[in-house]
Amino acid sequence: MNLEDAKVIVTGAASGLGRCFALNFAQSGAQVLGFDVDDEGLLALEEEEENISTYAGNVADEEDVKEAVSTAIEAFGSVNGLVNNAGIFRDGLLAKKDRDTGEVKTMSLEQWQTVIDVNLTGTFLCTREVAAHMIETQPEEGVIVNISSSSRHGNRGQTNYSATKAGVVADTKLWAEELARYGVRVGAVAPGFAQTPILDAMREEMLEKLLSKVPLRRAAKPEEIYLAVKFIFECGYFTGRCIDVDGGISM
């Protein structure tokens, strides 16, 4: 797909990787709708780049998703691209014994369900609505990119997050097979550690410990993750696979 022809919804666009994706798409000539719960972040995004429209809502809310897609269609005439980037984490061990009290503590259902709702159900809802629109309008080409993570292989303390990021890769393959007949390609990108506000907020010693596990000994620049997303959009023979952009880390 030529990016100048792209009409893309980017979820989680108010900050971090999503903000980078939205800005780079827009600067390449694409029309972009940024979808996020962060009103202030979306306003700043609109002010920075005129090719970006925004919708404030929750990807885990079915009506918000439908309204976001409708807003993009109204603004651009149609939608032929989607980047499912919105994601959260609520880390914790499945079960552990407190060293001082001996009490056994567990991951709460709320910790589990909140992450499932945003990372997995949100990806499902956005993909379902955009795919249905593409099938109805039959664009020359449609592209959907799901943002997974190197944690999809299983990362201690991330039972909920790892499950969602593995799930979106499984769905990437499945949806690629189901939607190919309609000219829609589906791919995934799995970043490792990337320079985002979450990483920036970490204590220096903790960050150094994390990055010591990465063969390249550094976090990715957001633009380096965008290059993988851009490749999936532009390479017409890519579908059903996940690109790891993780500096060679093993989890």
Task: Give me the residues paired with residue 242 across strands.
Answer: 188
Report how far Cα 239 is from the mean position of its chain's Cα atoms: 17
Q: Rounded distance, CA 68 to CA 58, Å?
A: 9
Q: Catalytic residue among 55, 161, 226, 237, which?
A: 161
CB-CB neighbours of 119 under 10 Å: 28
Q: Where are the alpha helices (DSSP H) in the chain?
A: 16-27, 39-48, 62-76, 109-115, 122-137, 159-179, 197-200, 204-211, 222-234
Determine the residue type at 236.
G
Q: Quick check: is 161 catalytic?
A: yes
Active site residues: 161
